[in-house]
Amino acid sequence: MKDKNQLLRQMKELDLEINQLEQIMALLEWDHETGLPPKAVNDRAGQLALVGGMHHEKVIAREWETLFDELECTEDGESSKVETIDEKAYVRECYKRWAKVMRVPQKLVEELSRQTSLSQAAWVQARKENDFSAFQPHLETLINLNIEAAQAIAPGKDVYDTLMDEYEPGTCSKEVNQVFNNLSSGLEKILDAIQSFTAPNTEFLDRKYPVDKQNEFGQMIQKAIGYDYDRGRLDISAHPFSTTLGPHDVRITTRYREEDFLSGLYSNIHEAGHGLYEQGIDEQYHNTVLSDGTSLGIHESQSRFWENTIGRSRAFWKRWLDPLRGLFPENLKNISDENFYRGVNRIKPSLIRIEADEVTYSFHIIIRFQLEQALVRREMRVSDLPEAWRSAYESTLKISPETDADGCMQDIHWSAGLIGYFPTYVLGNLYAAQFTRVMEKDLGSIDHLIQNDRVGDILSWLQNNIHRHGRVFSPKDLCQRVSGEPLNANYFLEYIGKKYSDIYGFQYS
Ligand code: ZN
């Protein structure tokens, strides 16, 4: 019988190889998005399939079962043979990774992967032609396969909860629904108040901003908030993302449009926020299953904190507007500080999620969250989706898409089989506001910190309270540990209410 330390050592050896294979896949994918010649797409697919197969072999290797037996793991991966919080988390996460793969039949995995490729191709075409009926059978198949997989992973459990668990471990839809209901009614009042005022003038944002200077400014900000270029790099891709190719190689991408300066700037800050989380994970977890953000929601809390709480604050622009004016003197001539600040915080209901502002963004997500729950619980037919989408937009944002391309086919997620993913975007906003409240208690107001060039203190606080732990704590436990209470919508509503009542000049209580 091996002792506990021998078992953990053996796990780490196996785990290291799994992590390295994941890093190799991330490198191949990063290269695919940033620089692959178009005719090399099939070559790359073959390479990825090979490495993916090797990864799969390592995840289900026989040794794991023996190890978990010797550690006397329960169905949830709990082992009484290990003592510390770190060891318990380590065994639990290794177990979950193994169990999930073991429970889904290989045939189903292959079918899911095949149907996902077909569905994505069909979605691209159907969206281009605004033809939902061409996409519908693919979505039906993908939903059915996802239900089947969820039932295999956790028989008897709510299917939606199992699907969401992939992205937000341990979070149940009943709780999320409750939090989102409170959020929704609070936001409706704020949005009503905003819409009775004239929107700020944002004409200056539509001018042409040369891309090289946008890039210069974006990098300046990334360095200022602490993103480490010696352990990362910035490239261009069609859709911005961040990816970890190794503990010392956390890359981010962005894209620039000459006539949409804000989009490039905020995707730079957003992705750097994701990068900071990964760069801040404690060294002791590097190259293990714990070396990752603990959930997509917590990940998103970090990117949105830097993008919105910091990057759209008055204090931030007090500090950075003059350097920006230095780069774009013509465009920003005669634009006052206040005009600029109001411009970057303009609120306007729109049909497209990725263009949404801080106030209306949540509605886009809540709509998708409700629709996808209904779909996987078979309370709604896929054929009814376009109409349900239109009526949901009409009743919440008072606008409705003319085409399904701008409606239920606008996002890639469902076509890629990502169901249960959407809520993490809003959870991120809520976590960010709840964490910020504690940070301000510890360090003083964020405005004060920015004005006094103490952004480093903000990052240290995040590293210490959130980043360094990697996956040791579940999102729920982390939230409780950092803020002393479960996630709720109050802090985000208070943040939004205060900020926008000040900008638009209405009473908020
Ligand atoms: Zn993000």
Share in percent of the chain as helix, strand, coil (round to 5) = 65, 5, 30
Name residue 126's amino acid: A
| Ligand 1 centre distance from Cα of residue 280 (Å) | 17
What contacts 481, CB < 8 A, 6 or more positions away? 473
What is the rounded average pLDDT of the residues 125-132? 97
For residue 197, pLDDT over 90 is answered with no
| Ligand 1 centre distance from Cα of residue 155 (Å) | 31
| Ligand 1 centre distance from Cα of residue 425 (Å) | 8
Of 276, 299, 470, 206, the residue nearest 268 (C-alpha) = 276
pLDDT at 393: 98
For residue 347, pLDDT over 80 is answered with yes
Average pLDDT, the chain: 96
| Banded pLDDT at 275 (limits 50, 70, 90) | very high
For residue 200, pLDDT over 90 is answered with no
| Ligand 1 centre distance from Cα of residue 378 (Å) | 29
Angstrom distances, CA of residue 405 to CA of 118, 186, 367, 411: 18, 30, 16, 9
Q: CA 126, CA 496: separation in Å to the nearest integer?
A: 37
pLDDT at 55: 96
| Banded pLDDT at 508 (limits 50, 70, 90) | confident
For residue 1, pLDDT over 80 is answered with no
352 CB-contact burial (10 Å; exposed 0-12 / middle 13-18 / buried 19+): exposed
In tens, the pLDDT along 51-98 reads 999 999 999 999 999 999 999 999 999 999 999 999 999 999 999 999
pLDDT at 125: 96
| Ligand 1 centre distance from Cα of residue 507 (Å) | 32
Q: How many CB atoms lie within 10 A of CB 80?
A: 10
| Ligand 1 centre distance from Cα of residue 219 (Å) | 18
Q: Residue 253 forms beta bridges with which residues?
A: 235
Structure tokens at 67: 């190890």
| Ligand 1 centre distance from Cα of residue 168 (Å) | 14
pLDDT at 198: 84
| Ligand 1 centre distance from Cα of residue 74 (Å) | 34
41 CB-contact burial (10 Å; exposed 0-12 / middle 13-18 / buried 19+): exposed
Enumerate long-range contacts of 10-18, CB under 8 Å, 24 or more apart.
10/63, 10/67, 11/67, 11/90, 11/91, 11/94, 12/288, 14/58, 14/61, 14/63, 14/64, 15/94, 15/287, 15/288, 15/289, 16/287, 16/288, 17/58, 18/55, 18/58, 18/59, 18/97, 18/289
What is the rounded average pLDDT of the residues 243-251? 98
pLDDT at 199: 83
pLDDT at 429: 98
**Alpha carbon 74 to chain centroid, angstroms:** 30
Per-residue three-class SS string for 433-502: HHHHHHHHHHHCCHHHHHHCCCHHHHHHHHHHHCHHHCCCCCHHHHHHHHHCCCCCCHHHHHHHHHHHHH
What is the rounded average pLDDT of the residues 264-275? 97
| Ligand 1 centre distance from Cα of residue 297 (Å) | 9
Of 239, 221, 222, 240, the residue nearest 231 (C-alpha) = 222
Residue with token string 């376009």 = 386
Provide the residues around ligand 1 (an ion) whose CB is within 5 A: 303
What is the rounded average pLDDT of the residues 406-419? 96
For residue 104, pLDDT over 80 is answered with yes
What is the rounded average pLDDT of the residues 162-187? 97
Check: CB of residue 258 under 8 Å from CB of residue 438: no
pLDDT at 86: 97
For residue 268, pLDDT over 80 is answered with yes
| Ligand 1 centre distance from Cα of residue 149 (Å) | 26
| Ligand 1 centre distance from Cα of residue 236 (Å) | 16
pLDDT at 228: 98
For residue 509, pLDDT over 80 is answered with no
Active-site residue set: 271
Structure tokens at 2: 């091996």
For residue 310, what is the DSSP state?
A: I
Could you give the percent of the chain with pLDDT greater than 70? 100
Q: Are strands 249-254 and 234-236 parallel, antiparallel or unpaired?
A: parallel
What is the rounded average pLDDT of the residues 436-451? 96
pLDDT at 201: 86
Q: Is the pTM value of this prediction over 0.75?
A: yes
